[in-house]
């Protein structure tokens, strides 16, 4: 039997720690979403029924379903035809909160392997411009395959260090900064993941601050940024957002409430181990596995002050 990771450093901030640990010991549900560029929720549900596939609709996001974890969705014709996409449920949150619109100019700073880029482009209905960036050109091959399979054509792939994106790229209506992190929240699908060391958390937080600060520089007045991680560490979550909000070089941003009706989440922290954060950090979203039978996640939604 595989033991669960030791996340006891978070015991004081998790409402039901035994339930949290119990959730970590269970298999992660399989989540897919219907691709509205090719098929409607009613049509994909009819296909599932015709092929004897049991499905559980997720009420908070129409067209999203939990399937039997034993199913091999990537081997089915529906997948190959781009009728649905496989994406962990909790991974859908930042783009859902960012609410992309057709015709906008949007940046995904750390796009590989392409799930959130695809989600953004589909929400844009293939209208407008999405720049999907990742520093590793080899990982961008996966992004290209995802977009091609789903029938997405409004997205350009670029390769830059997200902390040093070139100024000639211009500004954006919405930016997703789903940054590299210590990945503690992914332990249900990757048993090798455990609690991050102090050194790892510190290293990641430096990278995250640099990426978020650059995103804030490239956001248009009135624009929206979604900052997200799949870790529990406050040093990579609230502390990063707090530091960037306080940075005089980033301009004026307001944290918007990161809440989704029908999806259980906890408010962000306003203090951690003697450090005090801006009180509006409570508007950020923390997701623990026992709340929705999911992975762990953090999302902050911020808006740049509009020009006078």
Binding residues for S-adenosyl-L-methionine: 110-116, 134, 161, 178
Closest CA to 158 of 177, 178, 128, 130: 130
d(Cα 67, Cα 85) in Å, to the nearest integer?
12
Best CA proximity match to 230, nearest among 292, 185, 286: 185
In DSSP terms, 218 is beta-bridged to none
- Is 230 among the catalytic positions? yes
CB 139 within 8 A of CB 113: yes
Instruction: Identify whether 113 is preceded by a cis peptide bond (ω within 30 of 0).
Output: yes
Going by the annotation, the residues of the binding site are: 110-116, 134, 161, 178
Distance CA 240, CA 203 (A): 12
Annotated active-site residue in 183, 219, 230, 244: 230
The enclosing H or E element of 92 equals none
State the Cα angle at 87 between 150 and 151, rounded to 5°: 5
Rounded (10°) CA dihedral 116, 106, 235, 267: -80
Determine the Cα–Cα distance for residues 266 and 258; give it in Å rounded to an integer: 10
Q: Which residues are catalytic?
A: 230
């Amino acid at each position: 039997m595989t033991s669960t990771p030791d996340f006891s450093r978070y015991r004081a901030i998790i409402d039901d720690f035994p339930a949290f640990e119990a959730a970590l010991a269970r298999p992660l549900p399989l989540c897919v979403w219907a691709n509205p560029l090719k098929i409607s929720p009613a049509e994909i549900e009819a296909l599932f029924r015709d092929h004897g596939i049991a499905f559980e609709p997720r009420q908070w996001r129409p067209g999203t379903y939990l399937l039997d974890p034993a199913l091999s969705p990537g081997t089915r014709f529906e997948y190959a035809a781009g009728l649905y996409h496989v994406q962990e449920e909790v991974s859908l949150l930042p783009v859902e909160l960012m609410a992309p619109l057709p015709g906008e100019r949007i940046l995904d700073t750390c796009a590989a392997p392409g799930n959130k880029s695809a989600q953004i482009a589909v929400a844009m209905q293939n209208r407008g411009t999405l720049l999907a960036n990742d520093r590793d050109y080899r990982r961008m091959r996966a992004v290209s395959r995802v977009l091609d399979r789903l029938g997405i054509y409004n997205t350009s792939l670029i390769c830059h260090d997200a902390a040093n994106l070139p100024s000639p790229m211009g500004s954006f209506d919405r930016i997703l900064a789903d940054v590299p992190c210590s990945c503690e929240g992914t332990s249900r699908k990757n048993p090798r993941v455990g609690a991050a060391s102090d050194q790892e958390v510190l290293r990641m937080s430096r990278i995250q601050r640099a990426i978020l600060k650059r995103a804030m520089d490239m956001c248009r007045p009135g624009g929206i940024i979604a900052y997200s991680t799949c870790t529990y560490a406050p040093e990579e979550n609230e502390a990063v957002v707090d530091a960037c909000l306080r940075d005089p070089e980033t301009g004026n941003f307001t944290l918007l409430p990161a809440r989704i009706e029908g999806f259980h989440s906890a408010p962000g922290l306003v203090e951690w181990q003697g450090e005090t954060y801006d009180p509006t950090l409570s508007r950020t979203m923390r997701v623990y596995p026992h709340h929705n039978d999911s992975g762990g996640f953090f999302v902050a939604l911020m808006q740049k002050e509009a020009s006078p």
